[in-house]
Structure 1
Amino acid sequence: MGDLCVGPFVRAIRPDGVAIWTEWSHACEVTLTVTEADQNAGQEPSSLVTHVRTVLVGGRYYALSQLTGLQPATWYTYQVAASEQQKEPEPAVAETTIQCFRTLDLPDAQNTLRLAYGSCRKLSGIEPDALSAFGSWLTASVEQRESVWPHILLLIGDQIYADDFTGRRKQKRFHNQPDPEAEPVATQSFEDFALMYQEAWTDQGVRQVFAVLPTYMIFDDHEISNGWNTSSMWRANALQHGFERALVDGLVAYWVYQGWGNIGMNAPDEHDLLTIMQQAARDDQDVLEDLRACIRKVIYQEQALKWHYTIPTMPPLFVADVRSDRPAILDGRDPANVAPRIMSMEQMEELRAWMKEHAEVTTLLVSSVPAILPSLISFAEYIMGMRPLHGNAVGSLQRFGHMLAGMQQKVALRMSFDHWPVFGATWRELVKLFATRTRDIIILSGDVHFSYAIQARRTLFPSRRRPTIYQLVASPFKNELEQRDKRLISGTAWMKRAIYGGLYTSILPMRQEKSTKRVPHDMLFQNVVALVTLSPQTHKKGQYAIRQVYLGVKNGKSEEVGSTDIHT
């Protein structure tokens, strides 16, 4: 009988369906039983049941159980069980873990949407674990789940730290210029990455969070290595120094543990990796090499593979890939001659079309790295991303522009500038896209190891008829900003407003818990989970009032440590 190793995790959610992800010790048939939670007294409980075979990847067994035919905005309890050779299935999870989920509202319901989000969870640190503590917060508030629990959880980067192989061995970090003498990260295999996910996700508090909240994920750099794809030459340098296997196996592991659950309810023919998983469930063959072959083609730019996706919430949500989709130079071109981009033109075009489709409503954009940072930092990144002579100059001006671009790139790498403003081409496209909007854009990000909220407009003069970008940031779950960086960021906090790159930005007030006093610098430097509540404005169709609350850890428990209210 297969034992449950990791999970169960509630993953993709719809008004009429759900996907539950699990990892098992042996091959088995997984039975998912779902029962409506709030049936009338005396009514015989009716359940829906589905069965799937495990999928074999690298000697490990996984299942993504999908069930449709559910009612919207409804609470369900569920059980997962495993059986072999026609034996009766046995429950796989201890009764101490609450297992339930709520389906999404119908898009036209015009109800409040609650989100939880955050990023950056490094197990080796001694800091309190905000995501684990959040599990106890959910358990304590289970009776009020309809009014206080978030409808979905967004994990937006650095769910593992692949360059911090805790408990087994330390890997040397691969930066933009790999050290040929260093222990090669290519020794990291799929099994190495899988062990890291298993270690990260078997914590009881985290397991409880994933067992009840529909969870969507996207990678940032530490899923592969610190600084992954920071520059357009990163991939070429990595491949030249023997890092292919780490890149390939890291992305295979990301797919199995994170990406599959994001889009698992889509039709298999919509994604090459879904097709491979569907075939694997039928023939019981290990598909590690098939997944590797597909992703290897992506690494060498022989094939495109989408990691970005949308979620059918209201307001609607687009989860962008701003890490792996950065164009890489593999053909020897000089990077100083290439306009820096944080995502491909193809993904930007999809984002543009999606924004147009939802032109009459506030939209949510998830970007693992922030688009807008505190004023002085964001301005400095924007300056390093400018290419005023790119594509226009000739002769000596062209040579000067080439030299200037090379200097800008060196400074950006030295200062770890890795966010939207330093990628000039896509920054201009984002600002141009914003200029076409009549409704607000809310961007949710992590990465930077401190938390804040900033607004940006196209004009100095606020107007009800002009939309606003609200950049909300929550980071980390469990990590710590180095004191040097903390002093640097705090030292620049005096600059609350800035004008650059077509935007006027200003930091938003953050209030202390149960107080009108502001948090110092309007920034939090501690481990948090952020809760965002979006309430539809009855007098402004398509607009939402926004409240963000940060839950920190005090005496091992989740407690409010700061909040920001935005009235649009």
Structure 2
Amino acid sequence: MKPGTNAELLIGPLLRRVVGTRATIWVETSAPALVRVRAGDAGGESHTFTAFGHHYALVVVEGLAPGTTAPYEVFLDGSLVWPEAGSQYPKSVIRTRDRDDGAQPVRLVFGSCRETTQHVTARKLPPDALDAYARRLMLADEPAPDLLVLLGDQVYADIPSPAVKRFLSRHRKDGHDGPAHEVVSYEEYTQLYLESWRDPEMRWLYASVPSVMIFDDHEIIDDWNSSAAWRDDIKQQSWWTERIASGLASYWVYQHLGNMEPDELAADPVYQKVIAAEDATEVLHDFAIGVDANGGYQWSFALDVGRTRLVVLDNRCNRVLDPERRSMLPPAEWEWLADQAHGDYDHLVVGSSLPWLLPPGVHHLEAWNERIATSPRPRVSAFAERVRRAFDLEHWAAFHQSFDALAALFARIGAAPSGPSSISVLSGDVHHSYVARALFGARVAAPVHQLTCSPVHNQVPSFMRPMLQVGWWRIPATVARALARAARVAAPSVRWRKVAGPYFGNAVGTLDHDGRSARVTIEGTTTDGALRTVAAVDLAS
């Protein structure tokens, strides 16, 4: 704590968005405070807002010079709190692109599924790939990325670390009816972020590289919104209302808030209500309950970096689960996606926490399962639902119409005379990494690839590895397709083939765009915590 202030910096700063000559910095503090950020002659300030007994601010820094790198400082009530005194880490900086940045290269670093580095279990996890990347970036031997794209499972509410489990035991009163070893309340969610985001290397990385984030299921619970039957069952749990309210409210505060650029913040009705309230607890609680019950809030977002268009999709919260019209996105969001996919850019990147292209054998199995889950015979549909939950069969392949709709959109964009030179889908979730290419034929000029990089710090259960490997083999895929055909599942509207992988270790991906060229590199961790290239693929040819 610094003299002159009662507030400390609990989490942050997180450098979230850099747009032109403005940037946003997110912080959590221990008490209400005036947060001021200074980067040379540029700066900004904001009072914290309060929710659930915690204090946060998102500061808009204005007046940055184009094409510059500016170290920045954070002050609470006038006292310097960042950089920390005696820190061994390089200074955090804000990098802006040139005013006319169309010719500048673009670098996106991506990954998903990160259990905190302090997570200790009976299994030994390989080294953390983002930690390894942060340590290498500190050496300044390579260009810093324009954006860190985190594709889900930034925290695990249903698989907390031993330290968080001990907090749950101390925090809860006798007779609490929630799961004994899972996070339920907002206060418990804060422990997940406190533990994960204060990891020293991660703290430096988040403070030094702009980031955007989207949830997957583990921010809430495994298999979240996998089916209408799943929702019917989970709503019978007495603790579910608090879990979903806390999960969505904390996600909005810790992750989604920073996805918005300054102009979007000014137009977001939830943000305006939050900063206007003396205490935003009720605002966020009611918002979360309403979103879960009725939708109406768009978590998906889009942004441009140079000549690259990034569109990040909500694959979880706003799913349509009616068995007769299952869809990854509601109708209005499909229209929004189509609008965003059209425009003047060189490369289209779609962030989807769940892979669009799976191993073909797994794809056909999921499509078969979706069909028989609607069987009029109760025993058959019940069996299909049990299989769906046991093997997590709820990706794009299990939303067959959505899979084909996304394929049609890519075909239309990729075939346009002035279309992009590459289309890439960035995904995670499946705890292994691979590159696959969609085979649209000569009519679609732009190459379309699935780039899956997962996990950052986790591992796939050993019993699932053979299924994921053989899913790419021709004979198992043919058998699975025959099963789907027997259930009267139409063939997918596009074929695809594996280009690289699968790789089952912890990994981080880098997508580089330079003019009309595109290249992806996936790097896995070594036993000593360094990174090595496990896949490198040119994407624009």
Task: Give the shorter-chain TM-score range.
Answer: 0.7 to 0.9
Q: How does 1:352-391 map to 2 (within 5 A)?
A: 352-358=338-344, 361-385=346-370
Q: How many residues are aligned here?
A: 499
The residue number in structure 2 matching 1:231 is 227
Partner of 1:318: 311
2-structure distance, mates of 1:78, 1:533: 27
Say which of 240, 252, 268 aligns to 2:249: 252
Q: What is the 5 A alignment of 1:159-558?
A: 159-166=154-161, 167-169=163-165, 183=179, 188-242=184-238, 243-268=240-265, 270-280=267-277, 285-301=278-294, 304-313=296-305, 314-328=307-321, 336=323, 338-358=324-344, 361-385=346-370, 408-437=384-413, 438=415, 439=420, 440-459=422-441, 463=442, 466-495=445-474, 500-509=491-500, 522-537=501-516, 544-558=517-531
Q: Structure 1: 5+ residue runs without aligned partners?
A: 36-46, 173-179, 329-334, 391-397, 510-521, 538-543
- One-letter code aligned to 2:133: F
Which residue does the alignment assign to 1:38?
Answer: none
Percent of counterpart pairs with the same letter? Answer: 26
Matches within 5 A, 1:83-232: 83=77, 88-94=78-84, 95-97=87-89, 98-105=91-98, 109-123=102-116, 124-125=119-120, 126-127=124-125, 128-140=127-139, 142=140, 144-145=141-142, 148-166=143-161, 167-169=163-165, 183=179, 188-232=184-228
Structure 1 residues 138 and 192 mapped into 2: Cα distance closer, same or farther (>3 Å)?
A: same
Report deviation, 1:296: 1.1
Quote how far apart the aligned CAs of 1:380 are.
2.2
Q: Judge conservation of contact 1:64–1:264 (CA < 8 Å) in 2.
A: no
Q: TM-score, normalised by structure 2?
A: 0.85
Does the residue aligned with 1:196 lie in a helix, a strand or coil?
Answer: helix
Give, in whole Å, the separation in 2 of the partners of 1:386 and 1:297.
30
The letter for the 1-side match of 2:436 is I
Paired residues of 1:81 and 1:89 also in contact (CA < 8 A):
yes
Alpha-carbon distance in structure 1 between the residues aligned to 2:300 and 2:98: 23
- Deviation per residue, 1:148-189 (Å, 9 max, x gap): 2211001110000001222132899xxxxxxx9973789721
1:5 partner amino acid: L
Letter matched to residue 13 of structure 1: V
- What are the superposed Cα offsets for residues 31-83 of structure 1, whole Å, 9 maximum, x if unpaired? 10012xxxxxxxxxxx1222211111111111111123323332221110111
Q: How many angstroms apart in 2 are the aligned matches of 1:486 and 1:80? A: 46
Residues in 1 aligned to 2:447 and 2:49: alpha-carbon distance in whole angstroms: 45
Task: Provide the C-alpha distance between the structure 1 equivalents of 2:94 and 2:524, rounded to a whole number of angstroms.
Answer: 21
Q: In the alignment, is the contact (CA less than 8 A) between 2:152 and 2:429 conserved in 1?
A: yes
Instruction: Provide structure 2 residue ranges, at least 5 long, that are not aligned to the other structure.
Output: 169-175, 482-490
Cα distance in structure 2, aligned partners of 1:420 and 1:115? 23
Report the secondary structure of 1:436's partner residue.
helix
SS in 1 for 2:467: helix
**Residues 227, 185 of structure 1: alpha-carbon distance in 2 compared, 3 angstrom cutoff:** farther
Distance 1:187 1:490 in 2: 33
**1:100-143 residue CA offsets vs partner (Å, 9 max, x unmatched):** 12124557613221110100012325321111222211111x2x
TM-score (norm 1): 0.81
User: Residues 523 and 230 from structure 1, CA distance in 2 versus in 1: closer, same or farther, beyond 3 angstroms?
Assistant: same
Give me the whole-angstrom Cα distance separating, in 2, the residues matched to 1:237 and 1:188: 17
What code does the residue aligned with 2:284 have?
L
1:504 maps to amino acid? R
Distance change in 2, residues 1:171/1:99 (3 Å) = closer
Cα distance, 1:563 vs structure 2: 2.4
Q: Which amino acid aligns with 1:416?
A: D
**C-alpha distance in 2, partners of 1:264/1:237?**
38
**Cα RMSD for the two superposed structures:** 2.8
Change over 3 Å in CA distance of 1:297–1:184 after alignment to 2: farther
Change (3 A) 1:21 1:552: same
Contact kept? 2:21, 2:62, Cα under 8 Å = yes
Question: Could you tell me which amino acid in structure 2 is paired with residue 555 of structure 1?
Answer: D
Alignment match, 1:332: none
CA distance, structure 2, for counterparts of residue 104 and residue 495 of structure 1: 46
How many Å apart are 1:315 and its aligned residue? 1.2
1:41 equivalent in structure 2:
none
Q: Which residue does the alignment assign to 2:488? A: none
Distance 1:251-1:547 versus aligned 2 partners, 3 A rule: same
For the structure 1 residues 238 and 492, does the alpha-carbon distance in structure 2 shift closer, same or farther, using more than 3 Å as the test?
closer
User: What is the distance in 2 between the residues matched to 1:181 and 1:27?
Assistant: 33
3-state DSSP class of the match of 2:403? Answer: helix
